């Protein structure tokens, strides 16, 4: 009979990292679910009864789940922000909650920059036009005039948020020869050396040719860009949001698009998802949209698996994991 502690994985997980965990745990894998339901409703009561560690992504670790897992000693949420876990309930039981910070930073930066390129070069509109059979020999040069875009080299990119994703976008922008200014009130003025300049929000808005959002969503950042801030963006500039929709006031943005105060808008996130097909932004020819796919990559699974195993290694060795959300649980 194994003396290794039981570990239950309900998240999508890299098999290589599962094998790594088996060196120290008796691992039970459960088919991942996208329902976002409570672990207590997954029909795995016997596994939960013996589990000392649970690794989850979408399943909720709530009070009912914790009641069914009396031996639980640690929870890993394969997310940067463990919104699927009742942190207070875990802390009260002395259960640390580990996270996987920046698990999708690189693929999100990839998508954000892809969306930026699609928006400034009108590639979605051009593809739809082409597929609709509009390119004819009567005017072979029509697309050249209809879909004129801007080059990135020499233009200024304003990045709102200098965290992992913002830094990834910065690296990509520099590779395209762009000048970069960053708004992040938590960073020192020399955070990026000669690669980018830190500036106040209003200056970034008024000085940038393209603005992209990468700040976390919290109480202080809801509506970060409202009617006043959007009015500061100079006409002919582009706005990209692959972070969170609530960072921008929806009504103010719809008005800015309707009045064509922007040259283009690129969105991967929306205030209601799925987005209603009658949303006014669907009607605009200056809006490029993707259906919240920034983190849609198998590489994210490999990355959050690696980070989760690293965190559990620290925990198993008696160290406080760097990725723990509730360090106070260790003294509870």
Cite the active site residues.
Answer: 244, 273, 292
Q: What span, in angstroms and rounded, lies between the C-alpha atoms of 308 and 297?
A: 17
Peptide bond into 274 cis (omega under 30): yes
Map tokens 């009567």 to a residue: 138
Which structure tokens are listed for 163?
């965290």
Are 54 and 31 in contact by the 8 Å Cβ rule? The answer is no
CB atoms under 10 Å from CB of 278, counted, come to 7
Torsion 157-158-160-163 (CA) sign: positive
CB atoms under 10 Å from CB of 300, counted, come to 21
Count of alpha carbons within 13 Å of 134, Cβ hemisphere only?
A: 13
DSSP 276: P
Give Cα 325 distance to the centre of its chain.
18
User: Read out DSSP for 83-117?
Assistant: TTB-HHHHHHTT--EE--TTTTHHHHHHHHHHHHH
β-bridge partners, 61: 85
Torsion 48-54-56-59 (CA) sign: positive
Which structure tokens are listed for 180?
């970069």
CB atoms under 10 Å from CB of 251, counted, come to 12
Map tokens 């723990």 to a residue: 324
């Amino acid at each position: 009979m194994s003396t290794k502690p039981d570990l239950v994985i309900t998240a999508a997980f890299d098999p290589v990292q599962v094998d790594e965990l088996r060196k120290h745990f008796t691992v039970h894998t459960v088919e991942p679910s996208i329902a976002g339901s409570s672990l207590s409703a997954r029909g795995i009561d016997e596994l939960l009864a013996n589990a000392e560690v649970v690794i989850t992504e979408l399943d909720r670790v709530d009070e009912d789940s914790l009641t069914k897992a009396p031996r639980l000693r640690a929870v890993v949420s394969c997310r940067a922000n463990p919104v699927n876990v009742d942190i207070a309930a875990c802390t009260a039981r002395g259960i640390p909650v580990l996270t996987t910070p920046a698990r999708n930073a690189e693929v999100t930066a990839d998508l954000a920059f892809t969306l930026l390129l699609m928006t400034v070069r009108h590639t979605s509109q051009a593809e739809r036009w082409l597929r609709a059979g509009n390119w004819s020999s009567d005017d072979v040069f029509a697309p050249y005039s209809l879909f004129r875009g801007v080059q990135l080299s020499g233009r200024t990119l304003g990045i709102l948020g200098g965290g992992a994703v913002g830094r990834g976008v910065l690296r990509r922008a520099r590779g395209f020869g762009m000048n970069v200014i960053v708004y992040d009130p938590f960073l020192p003025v020399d955070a990026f050396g000669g690669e980018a300049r830190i500036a106040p929000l209003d200056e970034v808005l008024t000085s940038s040719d393209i603005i992209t959002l990468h700040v976390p969503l919290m109480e202080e950042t809801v509506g970060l860009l409202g009617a006043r801030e959007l009015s500061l963006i100079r006409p002919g500039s582009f706005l990209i949001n692959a972070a969170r929709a609530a960072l921008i006031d929806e009504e103010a943005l719809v008005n800015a698009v309707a009045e064509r105060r922007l040259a283009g808008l690129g969105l991967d996130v929306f205030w209601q998802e799925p987005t209603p097909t009658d949303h006014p932004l669907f009607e605009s020819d200056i809006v490029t949209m993707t259906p919240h796919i920034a983190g849609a990559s198998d590489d994210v699974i490999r990355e959050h698996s690696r980070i989760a195993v690293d965190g559990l290694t620290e925990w198993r060795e008696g160290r406080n994991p760097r990725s723990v959300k509730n360090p106070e649980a260790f003294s509870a």
